[in-house]
Structures are given as C-alpha cells and as structure tokens.
Structure 1
Amino acid sequence: MKDKPAKGQALTAASFMNAQSAITGLRGRDLVSTLRSLGRHSLLHPLHTARHALSLGSQLGRVLMGDTLHQPNPRDSRFSDPTWSLNPFYRRGLQAYLSWQKEVRTWIDDSGLPDDDRARAHFVFTLLNDALSPTNSLLNPLALKELFNSGGTSLFKGLGHLLDDLRHNDGLPRQVTREAFEVGKTVATTPGAVVFRNELLELIQYKPMSEKQYAKPLLIVPPQINKYYIFDLSPGNSFVQYALKNGLQVFTISWRNPDPRHREWGLSTYVQALEEALNVCRAITGAREVNLMGACAGGLTMAALQGVLQAKRQLRRVASATYLVSLLDSEIDSPATLFADEQALEAAKRRSYQHGVLDGRDMARVFAWMRPNDLIWNYFVNNYLLGKAPPAFDVLYWNNDNTRLPAALHGDLLDFFKHNPLTHAGGLEVCGTPIDLSKVTVDSFSVAGINDHITPWDAVYRSTLLLGGERRFILSNAGHVQSILNPPGNPKASYVENSRLSSDPRAWYYDAKHVEGSWWPQWLDCIQARSGTQRETLTALGNANYPTLDPAPGTYVLVR
C-alpha cells in the first residue's frame, strides 16, 4: 500500500515506473548517469563499500559451506523447479544470487545518498539484477532438460528465434505467436457495423443480443494508446458481449492509427471527434442521453468532453460516465518521476515532433521493462533457452498490436503529467474552453486495480474525487488490463468497495469491505438504472442518415 518501496522490501521495476514513464520514455543517458554517480560515491566512500563487500564475502563463504541463508519470493516462479533447492550446485548458485541482491539493496539503502538518488540506483540495479538471474542462462535446469529431451534441437530453434527477433522485433523476445490470432476472425468478432467514420475514428454499432434493450445507449471510448478490441477479445471475456446480452445498446470507437501526416492532432481534436460520435449515437438510437465508458487515456478524453459540454450547458447529453483505470489527477508519488525532469520532458516532445508521432513500439518497450521478469526474461527463457514458440494468448496479442500517438497529443499528455491541470478549475483548456470537473455533475462509476503500476490505484481514487455528481469507486484485485477483463465466473476475481469516499485513499481502503467475484454485475446494475426504459429490440443498425459502411471490426483497426 506504499508508493515507494520500504527499506529492505523486494523491489521490482514496476515499483518505479508508471504511465508517465511510458509517455516520457527512458533515456539511456539517465541510466548511465545513475551508474556514474554510484561509481563516484563508491570511490569517495571506500569504507562503506568495503564493509558491504566483506559482508557479501561472508555470506558467500557460508553459501559455499552449504548454508541456506535466503528464500526466494514465493511468488517468483523463476525458481519453482525443485532443482534449485535439491541440487547442491544449483542451491548454492541461487543462494549466491540472492545474497548479492540483498547486499546491493542494503548497500544502496545505507549509502547516505539523497532519497532521489537512492531511488534511481534501486531502479537501475533492479533491472541489472533481473538480467543477471541464473535462470537466464543455458545452465537453467529447464533449459538443460529440454536440451537433452530434444536431442539438441531446442538450442537451434532458440537461436533461430533469437535471430528473428533481432531482425524483426527490435531485439526483444516475442510475447505471443501472432499467427494464432486475426482481428475480425479470432478476436474482435462480435457482429456489428461501422455506422460513422471521420478522419480520427470509426464508430461501430453492435447487433443486439437480447429480446429487449434499454433506450439509452452505451458508448465505449478506448485509449488512443491501444486498439479498441480489449473490450471485445474472445467471447468468454468480451465486455461488449456481456453488455449486449444484458439489454444494452453498445457502440464503440475505433481510433485511427495516426501517421506523421496527423502530427497536429491534439487532445482538443480528439474531444471534438468524440463529441461528433456522441451525437451520432443519439441520432441513431433516438436517445437524448448516452452512457459513456472510457479506459485509461480514453477516460481523460471523456472527462475533457464533459467539461466542454458543461461549459456549453449541454451536459444533459450524458447519462453516466464510467472510468476504467483512468487518471484525471496525474500526481503520482513514485520514483518514476525522478527520470521525468524538465529536460527529459522537452526531449520527449522534440523527438515526437521530429517524427510526427510517438511510435507505439517505444511505449511497448517501456511497458515491458515495467515487468521485465514477466514480459521479457520469461520469454527469453521460453523462446531462446527452451526453443519454444511463445504462447497464443489473446491479451498479449492485443498488447502487441501497437498504435502510434500524434505528436500534438503526446505533447498534451506530457503537459498533463507535468502540470496536473484538472485538479484546479480552468487548469486545462480544451477546444478553447477552460475545464472545471467539479461542475461535471454526471453520475460516475470508477474502477482501479490494486496491482496496477501503470495508473496507480490511489491516483485513480483521487481522480474520482475531482468529479461532481454521485460517485462510486471500486478497487479490483488485478492489474491494469485484468481490472477491465474481469468477467463473472472468473475464480480469481474480487474487489473492495466502500461507499464513503474520504479524502485519504488509505483511510477509504481501511474501512472498505472485500467482495468475491467480478465487478461487472455491480456496474451493470448502475448502468441499467441510468439507461431509461426497456423496449423491443431494434435489429437494424444505423439509420437513413448514418447507413452501415463496413462490417465490424471496421478498417481503422487493421492499420499497423
């Protein structure tokens, strides 16, 4: 429940990185500068370094004698093979690695460096320690077993995978077998049609799946950073199908994947396009109000639109607003901000304006380094050391279906993290209109993930407090994506809720109740109560003014 890792606590890269890191990027010079600072400190304080070197030497001596000094984290699956505890050679190798990790953490903690420098040092050494894990070598017992079982072919297959990734995947191991999925055939398969298209988006209307439907539709606003079909993966965890089967009329936005021609598309451009889509939903369904649902950066866009509508006294067009892992309050008290100084922010802006876009692959690399053991080294072992193909997993396929951000929107997001403008009236101006979220009185339903390192849950909680109207906040027991993909029947699903929203997230959490199961039914009850009366289902899609253009999933989602 802490933003900064406690002293002696096991550290992960995700402890130091979040959405701001992905938007800003990580510069190699900053990492090298941190290592240089540590080197200078070691030379200036040789007694401190010598004391910890002697301590490490003492531990390694005991390890050689067969002592078991440390236990790996029980949630660390890298060392789950019994060979690491039963074989004397491997047990000593693991104990030496754990001793090194512990002593490095203690060396940094006791260094007397300023807090910011210590945090940077922990981050860099966490990445190095993960890379130096004994599981990332051919001596990994799993790799040796596979080598013998395959008659040596696993080594040649792994080498082939490595060469292919060096040529076609920026040197990172692939996380998914791309050939296993195809948009429109194995993912994003819910029947529907594109009923409106402009330069920025396609609006998809889905065919109903219930005998009756509610009058007010639901419009899903996905993040511009990813493609929309996170809401429509396989049928078993398709949020779109869940809503359709429960009587909701569902529309979703599919953002265009921009290229350098679209460098001037900023937040205001996206808000204007979203307002146009909102009006199309109203025109097709005949409803005066629309329920909105936004995820991540889509939630920010949705909030900005409501601020504009409020200023124009047209907020009555919105019946309710659902925010999924969305930041409106961008103040994040974590070491990630230590690398995002003024110089880094300006350098990030220059890079994207020079290229016209922020390449989605650059963001994907930062996201991968947030959880390197899960998203890099796990596949390094599987693909290269074991010679196996990466698994066919729909979420990872979606995660690797990268999109770009236009330079202007990238700059707007950088300014959003720098200035935190929505926390005070008029701090953010969109479409020439100052925004005041406290005057947005639309009822809201917000969801965060307790294990979400991209948009930390306490920041999402504070974002909820910025809104007016009736507010409900739910904290899922999952991470960034799995908080959204949380269908009923998921045995791991649970959440905590407290109807009393205090100013302190931790006070709220302390008094919250734990509930087993998915939050989807709770959301459904809220949204159905705000969706008007039920009527006979209308099977036709679009209308005379907005005829169907292409079958779902449309054309924009296919652009790479």
Structure 2
Amino acid sequence: MKDKPAKPGVPTPAAYLNVRSAISGLRGRDLLSTVHQLGRHGLRHPLHTARHLLALGGQLGRVMLGDTPYQPSPRDTRFNDPAWQLNPLYRRGLQAYLAWQQQTCQWIDESQLDDDDRARAHFVFSLLNDAMSPSNTLLNPAAVKELLNSGGLSLVRGLNHLLDDLRHNDGLPRQVNPDAFEVGRNLASTAGAVVFRNELLELIQYRPMSEKQYARPLLVVPPQINKFYIFDLSPTNSFVQYALKNGLKTFMISWRNPDARHREWGLSSYVAAVEEAMNVCRSITGSRDVNLLGACAGGLTIAALQGHLQAKRQMRRVHSATYLVSLLDSQFDSPASLFADEQTLEAAKRRSYQQGVLEGREMARVFAWMRPNDLIWNYFVNNYLLGKAPPAFDILYWNNDNSRLPAALHGDLLDFFKFNPLTHADGLEVCGTPIDLHKVTVDSFHVAGSNDHITPWDAVYRSALLLGGERRFVLANSGHVQSILNPPGHPKAHFVENPRLSSDPRAWYHDAQKVEGSWWPQWLDWIQARSGAQRETRLSLGSANYPPMDPAPGTYVLVR
C-alpha cells in the first residue's frame, strides 16, 4: 500500500448543527427571534438592503435573458435531471434560485451584524433556501415525468404517504421502509447469547468464528443514544463479525431503552453498569483485564470509567481503549452553540425531567435538520412528489430505531457540553470519584471522520490529547456513521494518519499521510498486539456463574 501526501486543505464539516444541538434541542422561538432580528436590521439599514435588492434584480434580468452565471455544487444531486440545464424554463428557474441564494448570503456577510448573529442568520437562511428549492415542488421534472408515466397514480401514492407521515411520523418523510428489516433476522443476526443482564444493560457474548482466539476479551460499548447493532448490520459490514473472524473474543453491551421510571439514571449509573459488565467479561474469559471500545457517547462512558478506576487505583483491569467518533473535549468552534444559551439548556433540562426521558424522536428531528437536503427534502421528493416508497437501507433503519435518554443522563450531557469538565483535572465526578484523564495511561486508538457533522473531527482530535499513554489517531474520509462502518474493500475509502500528535489539529493534518483503504486492518493489527496470546477456540458461551440466557441480539434491543 503506497502512502500519498494529504491534500493541503484542512477538512471542515459544513454544518451548523452537531451533537450538542441534538442534546440541547433547537427551539422554534430561537429561530423566529433570528428572523425578527434580521427584519429589524433590514429596516434600520435600508440602503444596504436596497443595494442588494438592486443587485438581485440585475442578476434576475440576466437570467431572464438566458444567461447562466451560476452552477449548483457538484455534490448537490437535486438538479441532476438534464431538464434543469436543457429546458429554458427550468434553467431560468434554477438560475433565479441560485441568484437568490448567493445574494442573501452576501446580504448577511456584508451586514453590520456581529459574528454570532451573522452565523445564526446564515443558519436560518440555509433552512429557508433549502425549503424554497424548485426541486421541492410538483414542477420538479422528475415528478412531472413520473406523473405522466403513472397516469396520475404517483400523485395519489404521494398523498397517501404524506397523510401517513402526518399521522405516524411527526410530519417528517420516512427515510426507510420499516417492513424491510427485522432485528435478529436480517439485522443483528450474528450468533451469540446474553450472558449477563442488569437493570441498564444486557451483555452479549458472540460465538467464535475463528480456529484460535486471543486471550484478552474486547468489550464494545455503543452510544446510549442509539442501539448497539450499528456494529452488526449485514455480514458484509459487520464490525462484530470482522472482529470474530480475526480471533477477538467479542462482547457487546446492549443498553436498555429507558422510560420515565428510569429518570434518575445518570452518567454514574451507566459507568457503574459498564464496570459490572467488564468484570463479567473478565470472569467468563479468565482474563485479568479487557480491551474497551466505545463509540460516540459510549466513548465518553469508557473514558469516565477509566478515570473512575484510576482514582480507585484499579486501572489494571483495562489494557487498552478504542474511541470511535467520541468527544471528550466538548468545545466547538461552530455556529451550533449559538442557539444553546443558558435559557435553552435549562429549558431542555426542565422538559426532560418533567417527561422523565428525552425522546429519541426529538433528537432524530434535530439530526435530520443537520443535513436537510439529504435527510428531509430528498425523501420529500421521493415519497411525496414521485410517490415512491422509501428505500430499504439498513443504516437508515438503524438510524430511525430511536432510543430514549433518561433525564439524569440528559442533564449530565448538557452539563458536559456547557462546562467541558474533562479538559481539567477533577472537573467531572463519577461514582463519587473525581476524574483526571491525563492520569489514564493505557494505550488508546482514536478514529474521527473528516465529514462528520455530529462530532467534528478537530474536537475528536483534541479529545485524544486529554488522555495519557500511547495514543494513535486516524482520520477517515467519512461521516459520523460511515467512519465506524468502514469495512475493507470499499473503493473510495481512505484515511490520513500522522504518528506525531501536535497540539494543533491543523498542524497534525498538514503533516499527515494519506493511506488508501479502510482503517479496520490498521486497528486490527493494533488491537491484536494488545490482546495477549492465541489459544484454541472454546465454542461454549458463558460460564458456570454466568450461563447463557436469551440468544443474541437479546431482549433489550427490541424494546421501543
């Protein structure tokens, strides 16, 4: 495999929202307040507004004469139909839309708003401009063709889809056909058994898939926000099967989907539950210590666990830790924080404590508005205008299989984003012990995504610097989920790596080398070197103290 120099441009995810926004929520009143502020600014500075209106008028005049001064982004698939370029009417409509987009951006950029207000304005206008796209109307050329080809049935089917979503999907277009998948049948189908269960989690031990296994077990801790089977979708992209086929004794935590009765479960509750599951892994395998792997909020959980164990001088129970798209440093240089003021955070806490939980569908709505063209308007066109059923896509099925957060954990996460406590010693207390991550000195492997709009890669990079020990950081050319689901063989997969971790993410990236392919084999070499000796595989699951119970995927994952 030949290394290539990384591109000079530092990747910057183009998103106004991230995981902080999903946790704190996005209130309509904040968006309306921004709209009102923009209106007042326009009235106070009429010459500024008039100048841009005249400029827009001049651009529209050129468009009406047949000029095409603007081109949509090559990554914007909304206007791929040839009619947008070849048909004079559609071409003028597209050009007028692009002219309006450009001029509103210039109006904001050249306004006298401060930086924060300007960022809020850009976010609000990005939502409005996406909603106003000419592709979102029945005049969409693809919709017109489908209407003619189906004899009007596409319109009837689209109306039925719309009414069904208004009744059963909170008014948002469905992203996936819910009848195409079933957990335990064609998702999360890897053989195994639940070997331990407590109030918060089930621990799944998977059946070996190799002739020999390494002695030290791998315990996977998924995010509490989603269900565990992102690691075990289909056999072609199952991280679990990849680990099993390469000799790793693999255990998986499956979180219980909480309800109002569990409102008091906080971060300490989850850390204590993972510690208990870790001790079960040690007991079943006879290993003194384990390798931990956490994704997203699961990474925060295993970091807090290690800080807790270090404070108790029991770090000998953990041998290494892998963090996938995980934030430990919650500082964002992003407009996403501009709506998360003190009032918003307190309102979010109060609302979840009243309900007992933060509903998963509330977070899902915010996640959808992070990428509205991909996750909302794309399906608006497909489901309503074209009258087609949403596709059968395993990742989207998992993404829509929402989990709730108990109110106490929701409050802990809000405080985490507000105070950024892990960046200084004793800033966070878990299970009665103060946490100092610099004293956590086990080897760690960190993965981020260059296009990740949920946990931006530079924040994930800074998170790695908070830990002691030998650290390795790789940056995949993917988004949040695709950075995890990165099996070997994908033709476009690559990552960048630099063994020298500097204090500045951009300096690290400038000296990084591009490596073709998936990061999974790199991680596999790293984890196998930390997994002990190879032994003959023992096919039986569990032990005398922890006999197998329900077959994988267990029962907690099925609770909605």
For this structure pair, what is the TM-score category when the shorter chain's length is used for normalisation? over 0.9
User: In the alignment, residue 459 of structure 2 is paired with which amino acid?
Assistant: A
Partner SS state of residue 15, structure 1: coil
**Cα distance, 1:440 vs structure 2:** 0.3
Partner SS state of residue 481, structure 1: helix
2:155 matched to which residue of 1?
Answer: 155
On the 8 A contact 2:10/2:506 being kept in 1, the answer is no
Following the alignment from structure 1 to structure 2, what is the Cα–Cα distance between the partners of residues 3 and 269? 37
2:497 matched to which residue of 1?
Answer: 497
On the 8 A contact 1:84/1:94 being kept in 2, the answer is yes
Consecutive unaligned residues in structure 2, runs of 5 or more:
1-8
Following the alignment from structure 1 to structure 2, what is the Cα–Cα distance between the partners of residues 283 and 358? 35
2:143 matched to which residue of 1?
Answer: 143
**CA 1:3/1:21 → structure 2, altered by over 3 Å: closer, same or farther?**
farther
Following the alignment from structure 2 to structure 1, what is the Cα–Cα distance between the partners of residues 229 and 514? 30
On the 8 A contact 2:427/2:435 being kept in 1, the answer is yes
On the 8 A contact 1:427/1:434 being kept in 2, the answer is yes
1:379 matched to which residue of 2?
Answer: 379
User: In the alignment, residue 512 of structure 2 is paired with which amino acid?
Assistant: A
On the 8 A contact 1:3/1:333 being kept in 2, the answer is no
Partner SS state of residue 328, structure 1: coil
1:514 matched to which residue of 2?
Answer: 514
Following the alignment from structure 1 to structure 2, what is the Cα–Cα distance between the partners of residues 212 and 547? 22
**Cα distance, 1:207 vs structure 2:** 0.1
**Cα distance, 1:4 vs structure 2:** 8.2
On the 8 A contact 2:487/2:520 being kept in 1, the answer is yes
1:289 matched to which residue of 2?
Answer: 289
Partner SS state of residue 183, structure 2: coil
**Cα distance, 1:2 vs structure 2:** 7.1
**Cα distance, 1:302 vs structure 2:** 0.3
Does structure 1 residue 320 correspond to structure 2 residue 283? no
Identity percentage of aligned residues: 80
On the 8 A contact 1:204/1:253 being kept in 2, the answer is yes
Q: What's the CA shift string for 1:183-233, capped at 9, x where partnerless?
A: 000100000000000000000000000000000000000000000000000
Partner SS state of residue 229, structure 1: helix
On the 8 A contact 2:12/2:451 being kept in 1, the answer is no
Following the alignment from structure 2 to structure 1, what is the Cα–Cα distance between the partners of residues 166 and 10? 38
On the 8 A contact 1:474/1:497 being kept in 2, the answer is yes
1:9 matched to which residue of 2?
Answer: none
Following the alignment from structure 1 to structure 2, what is the Cα–Cα distance between the partners of residues 174 and 59? 37
Following the alignment from structure 2 to structure 1, what is the Cα–Cα distance between the partners of residues 131 and 558? 35
CA RMSD of aligned residues (A): 0.9
Following the alignment from structure 2 to structure 1, what is the Cα–Cα distance between the partners of residues 319 and 114? 49
Partner SS state of residue 112, structure 2: coil
Partner SS state of residue 434, structure 1: strand
**Cα distance, 1:431 vs structure 2:** 0.5
2:261 matched to which residue of 1?
Answer: 261
Following the alignment from structure 1 to structure 2, what is the Cα–Cα distance between the partners of residues 171 and 525? 47
1:70 matched to which residue of 2?
Answer: 70
Q: What's the CA shift string for 1:163-194, capped at 9, x where partnerless?
A: 00000000000000010000000100000000
Partner SS state of residue 195, structure 1: strand
On the 8 A contact 1:24/1:340 being kept in 2, the answer is yes
**Cα distance, 1:492 vs structure 2:** 1.6
On the 8 A contact 1:4/1:335 being kept in 2, the answer is no
1:398 matched to which residue of 2?
Answer: 398
Following the alignment from structure 2 to structure 1, what is the Cα–Cα distance between the partners of residues 50 and 23? 40
On the 8 A contact 2:12/2:450 being kept in 1, the answer is no
User: In the alignment, residue 432 of structure 2 is paired with which amino acid?
Assistant: G
On the 8 A contact 2:475/2:497 being kept in 1, the answer is yes
Partner SS state of residue 188, structure 1: coil
**Cα distance, 1:426 vs structure 2:** 0.1
**Cα distance, 1:3 vs structure 2:** 9.2
1:365 matched to which residue of 2?
Answer: 365
1:278 matched to which residue of 2?
Answer: 278
Instruction: For 1:4-23, list aligned pairs within 5 A.
Output: 15-23=15-23
Does structure 1 residue 115 correspond to structure 2 residue 125? no
**Cα distance, 1:476 vs structure 2:** 0.2
Following the alignment from structure 1 to structure 2, what is the Cα–Cα distance between the partners of residues 463 and 439? 14
**Cα distance, 1:143 vs structure 2:** 0.1
**Cα distance, 1:112 vs structure 2:** 1.1
1:300 matched to which residue of 2?
Answer: 300
Q: What's the CA shift string for 1:257-312, capped at 9, x where partnerless?
A: 00000000000000000000000000000000100000000000000000011011
User: In the alignment, residue 122 of structure 2 is paired with which amino acid?
Assistant: H
Instruction: For 1:97-246, list aligned pairs within 5 A.
Output: 97-246=97-246
Partner SS state of residue 32, structure 2: helix
1:11 matched to which residue of 2?
Answer: none
Following the alignment from structure 2 to structure 1, what is the Cα–Cα distance between the partners of residues 411 and 224? 14
1:551 matched to which residue of 2?
Answer: 551
User: In the alignment, residue 297 of structure 2 is paired with which amino acid?
Assistant: A
1:10 matched to which residue of 2?
Answer: none
Following the alignment from structure 1 to structure 2, what is the Cα–Cα distance between the partners of residues 552 and 133? 45
2:532 matched to which residue of 1?
Answer: 532
Following the alignment from structure 2 to structure 1, what is the Cα–Cα distance between the partners of residues 279 and 510? 42
**CA 1:118/1:4 → structure 2, altered by over 3 Å: closer, same or farther?**
farther
Following the alignment from structure 1 to structure 2, what is the Cα–Cα distance between the partners of residues 446 and 316? 21
User: In the alignment, residue 201 of structure 1 is paired with which amino acid?
Assistant: L
Partner SS state of residue 408, structure 1: helix
Partner SS state of residue 205, structure 1: strand
2:4 matched to which residue of 1?
Answer: none
Following the alignment from structure 1 to structure 2, what is the Cα–Cα distance between the partners of residues 492 and 256? 36
Following the alignment from structure 1 to structure 2, what is the Cα–Cα distance between the partners of residues 510 and 112? 35
Q: What's the CA shift string for 1:90-149, capped at 9, x where partnerless?
A: 000000000000000000011111111000000000000000000000000000000011
Following the alignment from structure 1 to structure 2, what is the Cα–Cα distance between the partners of residues 73 and 468? 42
User: In the alignment, residue 339 of structure 1 is paired with which amino acid?
Assistant: F
On the 8 A contact 1:454/1:480 being kept in 2, the answer is yes
On the 8 A contact 2:326/2:460 being kept in 1, the answer is yes
**Count of matched residue pairs:** 552
Following the alignment from structure 2 to structure 1, what is the Cα–Cα distance between the partners of residues 55 and 422? 50
What is the TM-score when the length of structure 1 is the normalising length?
Answer: 0.98
Partner SS state of residue 397, structure 1: helix
User: In the alignment, residue 544 of structure 1 is paired with which amino acid?
Assistant: A
2:450 matched to which residue of 1?
Answer: 450
On the 8 A contact 1:228/1:255 being kept in 2, the answer is yes
Following the alignment from structure 2 to structure 1, what is the Cα–Cα distance between the partners of residues 146 and 222? 42
Structure 1: 4+ residue segments shifted above 2 A? 1-5
Following the alignment from structure 1 to structure 2, what is the Cα–Cα distance between the partners of residues 269 and 34? 39
Following the alignment from structure 1 to structure 2, what is the Cα–Cα distance between the partners of residues 246 and 27? 47
Partner SS state of residue 194, structure 2: strand
User: In the alignment, residue 481 of structure 1 is paired with which amino acid?
Assistant: V
Following the alignment from structure 1 to structure 2, what is the Cα–Cα distance between the partners of residues 546 and 139? 62
Partner SS state of residue 483, structure 2: coil
Q: What's the CA shift string for 1:499-534, capped at 9, x where partnerless?
A: 000000000000000011000000000100000000
Does structure 1 residue 92 correspond to structure 2 residue 87? no
Q: What's the CA shift string for 1:373-431, capped at 9, x where partnerless?
A: 00000000000000000000000000000000000000000000000000000000000
What is the TM-score when the length of structure 2 is the normalising length?
Answer: 0.98
**CA 1:538/1:4 → structure 2, altered by over 3 Å: closer, same or farther?**
closer
Partner SS state of residue 301, structure 1: helix
On the 8 A contact 1:322/1:444 being kept in 2, the answer is yes
**Cα distance, 1:319 vs structure 2:** 1.1
Following the alignment from structure 2 to structure 1, what is the Cα–Cα distance between the partners of residues 245 and 321? 20
Q: What's the CA shift string for 1:429-452, capped at 9, x where partnerless?
A: 000100000000010000000000
Partner SS state of residue 62, structure 1: helix
Partner SS state of residue 257, structure 1: coil
